[in-house]
Structure 1
Amino acid sequence: MASELWTSEEAQAATGGRLLNADTWTCTGVSIDTRTCEPGDLFVALKDVRDGHDFLAQAFVSGATAALISDARKVEGLGAALAVHDVLDGLRKLAEAARDRSAAKRIAVTGSVGKTSTKEALAVCLSASGQTHRSVKSYNNHWGVPLTLSRMPRESQFAVFEIGMNHRGEILPLTQLVKPHAALVTTIAPAHVENLGSLETVADEKGDIYTGLEPGGSAIVPADAPHADRLIAAAERNGANLVRFGRGAECEARLLKFDMDDTGSTAEAEILGRVIRYRIGVEGAHWALNSVAALAATDVVGGDLEAAAHALEHLRAFDGRGVATRIDAAFGAFMLVDDSYNANPASMAAAFSTLSARKPADGGRRIVALGDMLELGRDERAYHAGLAQPLEQAGVDLVFASGPRMAALMEALPASRRGGYAETSDALIPIIAPALRAGDIVLVKGSNGSKMSKVVAALTALKGNANA
């Protein structure tokens, strides 16, 4: 049975709202979506692309205990409500109250690549030491961060928050809301350059996460990343305890060894003076440094470092981010690697490196199906064409691609490596599907907007599957 999260009295005191239709209630969760609303939830009627007030009836049918609203007329005859002037502002105030009433050590994570993966790794690491709350999915924006905070149980011992951005100035208010005890930047890479103008500005925006640190908090900085100096400067401006992670001898958290195999990776690292050897339960070159960052963050907030290292063996890939599935098609079995959730040059290179560590079955090939990388700005063609080199280094046999930007990559590839090209992911499906054969390993990757998930669905539908 879910434990009490908010009473009506607590929620009213936090938001300054007005109770309607019932003076006393308790909720066990907070929801913004009637499709996932559960009995006992407080439904938050946000106005975004759609107006949550239009779904109040469905929320109560789903079992919502009460609703946070701004239009009292919409809740008449439906159920208990807490009326505020602005629903998003009310959610933020609820988040602040959740933060202030809990003794949990909070960690905020951002970066151009690997935010969600590192957040999940941190949750695994910290759960070995105590009750850990975390962002679900990629709830990392102006409503996702306060939603995650508002859901934090008061008895939590640790909490991990993912913070994202699309434009300059978006990270600052979110880190100031979380007030982390440790803030971690995974890396700096060409993502959102189209909106921010330069990689230097991307680094400055990411560095803003250190502004929200609690006094004496730790800044976990990627020493090997481009413009790491700007991140270090941001950490120092905010009086943070500096913890650099990377491969260099100057790093407080240093990767010493890393080896990939078909079922995961084995690593050795020195974390603030202690040498740790550990196993990671998922494949991926990106886990080399992300795991070191997660262990360093665990250590600085008081987690058990040894227990965290052991826990990483239980880490698993999740939808759209490297899940490998055996597909038993009519022509034979092949391996499908779904990395279709997002992409930029750095994550593409990491995915290719991981693919190179996988060995195709007899007669099989390493194949990639790639969609456009978005928001790369004026140099987008060069970034796409530049993927030709890491593809060659990874020993990829055939490249299938879709989207206008990926045309630049196809032009840069030798004819022997060109599998096929289409303008859209839908049009790519009938090109790649008949080209596959038993033993192949197929990596599908692209920015979310390139809709490469459609290719994943089509290839999965070639026959039944079983998790690899």
Structure 2
Amino acid sequence: MVTPLWTAQDAAVATGGLSASDWAATGVSIDTRSLSAGDLFVALRGPNHDGHDFVAAALARGAAAAVVDRDIPDLPMAAPLLRIADTLAGLAALGAAARGRSSARVIAVTGSVGKTGTKEALRLALAACGPTFASAGGLNNHWGAPLSLARTPPAAAYGIFELGMNHPGEIGVLTRVVRPHVAVITTVEPAHLGFFPSLEAVADAKAEIFLGLEPGGIAVLNRDNRHFDRLSAAAMRAGAAEIIGFGTYREATVRLVDCVLGPRSSTIEAALPGAVLRFALPLPGRHWAMNSLAVLAAVA
């Protein structure tokens, strides 16, 4: 028997909404094209579509219930709806409630490049240690991050969430909901300069990830990146208890000693405090070697 992710009562308490019927959902969806039977469908408004127009289709495809903020015509009186004031705010509330009830160790990942690959590598590594949940694909924005949180099983021992941004202030909002124990910045590169006056401003926006760190939280940073000192100072100001640097730099806590790149794989030698690890990656490219160091730093 599948354990419910959300019951009508739990979701109503989390969102301040009202449900006229009893139901239990095993997942959360915002898209009828990928909806699974048993999902709670949240009717969000986008630039081109209004999810409320797809509520009937979601229920027909087996959704356990739908979260709405307006009337849906032509539905049966007994249709399982959770009525709230605003569905986007409701999704954020579900995410915050899921984070509040979770005892998982949470890792948040951002960076100009490498964040999705690093998140997936962390998922694989931590799955060997206990029940692990990670945000799917690139769900890392103002609705993707809370959606991922809302999908987190209460029994998860580890949670890994990707945080993205296009403008200052975005990551700050997301990280305060995700509340990571470990915050990883893979690197800072000129990937968002169309929205920022300088690369330093990009670094400052990435550093907002530290604003949500839990007490005793850890910052994991690319020691080779020229913005390391700037990011490190931001982490300290935010209250990080420890900063772990990774890279080739001689003072990196997790240091790349050797990297043999092949056409389809790489062989890595990495030095950690008190240990030297040698391992093979079934992925080519020096960037994957650096991602692996970030993973080691986050889980060590």
TM-score by length of 1: 0.62
Which residue does 2:268 correspond to in 1? 267
Which residue does 2:187 correspond to in 1? 187
CA contact (8 A) 2:56 2:75 kept: no
Which residue does 2:66 correspond to in 1? 67
Instruction: Work out whether 1:31 is the aligned partner of 2:29.
Output: yes
Secondary structure of the residue that 2:137 maps to in structure 1? coil
- 1-structure distance, mates of 2:71, 2:275: 58
CA deviations over 1:19-65 (Å, ceiling 9, x no partner)? 13x1x110000000000011000000011222100111111111101
Q: CA separation of 1:71/1:157 partners in 2, compared to 1, >3 Å: closer, same or farther?
A: same
Which residue does 1:290 correspond to in 2? 291
Which residue does 1:319 correspond to in 2? none
Secondary structure of the residue that 2:270 maps to in structure 1? strand
CA contact (8 A) 1:243 1:251 kept: yes
Superposed counterparts of 1:396-435, under 5 Å: none
Superposed counterparts of 1:388-399, under 5 Å: none
- 1-structure distance, mates of 2:297, 2:87: 37
Deviates more, 1:174-183 or 1:250-259: 250-259
Q: CA separation of 1:195/1:268 partners in 2, compared to 1, >3 Å: closer, same or farther?
A: same
Task: Give 1:183 shift.
Answer: 0.3
- 2-structure distance, mates of 1:126, 1:72: 43
Higher relative contact order (CA 8 A, sep 6+): 2
* Root-mean-square deviation (Å): 1.3
Q: Which structure's CA Rg is the greater one?
A: 1
- 2-structure distance, mates of 1:124, 1:291: 12
1:135 maps to a residue whose letter is S
Secondary structure of the residue that 2:54 maps to in structure 1? helix
Instruction: Work out whether 1:148 is the aligned partner of 2:140.
Output: no
Secondary structure of the residue that 2:88 maps to in structure 1? helix
Task: Give 1:96 shift.
Answer: 1.1
CA contact (8 A) 1:189 1:226 kept: no
2:18 maps to a residue whose letter is R
Which residue does 1:159 correspond to in 2? 159
Task: Give 1:274 shift.
Answer: 2.3
Task: Give 1:6 shift.
Answer: 0.9
- 1-structure distance, mates of 2:272, 2:117: 20
Secondary structure of the residue that 1:196 maps to in structure 2? coil
Which residue does 1:131 correspond to in 2? 131
Which residue does 1:76 correspond to in 2? 75
- 2-structure distance, mates of 1:171, 1:185: 12
Task: Give 1:75 shift.
Answer: 7.3
CA contact (8 A) 1:88 1:143 kept: yes
Secondary structure of the residue that 2:286 maps to in structure 1? coil
Which residue does 1:168 correspond to in 2? 168
Task: Give 1:200 shift.
Answer: 0.3
Runs of 4+ in structure 1 over 6 Å off:
none
Q: CA separation of 1:278/1:47 partners in 2, compared to 1, >3 Å: closer, same or farther?
A: same
Which residue does 1:54 correspond to in 2? 53
Secondary structure of the residue that 1:159 maps to in structure 2? strand
Which residue does 1:256 correspond to in 2? 257
Deviates more, 1:147-156 or 1:263-272: 263-272
CA contact (8 A) 1:121 1:291 kept: yes
Secondary structure of the residue that 1:138 maps to in structure 2? coil
CA deviations over 1:281-329 (Å, ceiling 9, x no partner)? 1122201111000111012xxxxxxxxxxxxxxxxxxxxxxxxxxxxxx
1:268 maps to a residue whose letter is E
- 2-structure distance, mates of 1:147, 1:6: 13
1:69 maps to a residue whose letter is V
CA deviations over 1:83-115 (Å, ceiling 9, x no partner)? 110111111111111111111000000000111
CA deviations over 1:317-342 (Å, ceiling 9, x no partner)? xxxxxxxxxxxxxxxxxxxxxxxxxx
CA contact (8 A) 1:53 1:69 kept: yes
- 2-structure distance, mates of 1:274, 1:88: 47
- 2-structure distance, mates of 1:209, 1:72: 38
Secondary structure of the residue that 2:53 maps to in structure 1? helix
Superposed counterparts of 1:308-387, under 5 Å: none
CA contact (8 A) 2:43 2:66 kept: yes
CA deviations over 1:371-405 (Å, ceiling 9, x no partner)? xxxxxxxxxxxxxxxxxxxxxxxxxxxxxxxxxxx
Secondary structure of the residue that 1:137 maps to in structure 2? coil
Instruction: Work out whether 1:215 is the aligned partner of 2:215.
Output: yes
Task: Give 1:74 shift.
Answer: 4.4
Which residue does 1:18 correspond to in 2? 18
- 2-structure distance, mates of 1:29, 1:15: 16
Matched pairs, number: 297
CA contact (8 A) 1:53 1:74 kept: no
CA contact (8 A) 1:107 1:183 kept: yes
Which residue does 1:204 correspond to in 2? 204
CA deviations over 1:167-202 (Å, ceiling 9, x no partner)? 111110000010000000000101110111110000
Which residue does 1:373 correspond to in 2? none
Superposed counterparts of 1:116-127, under 5 Å: 116-127=116-127
Task: Give 1:262 shift.
Answer: 2.5
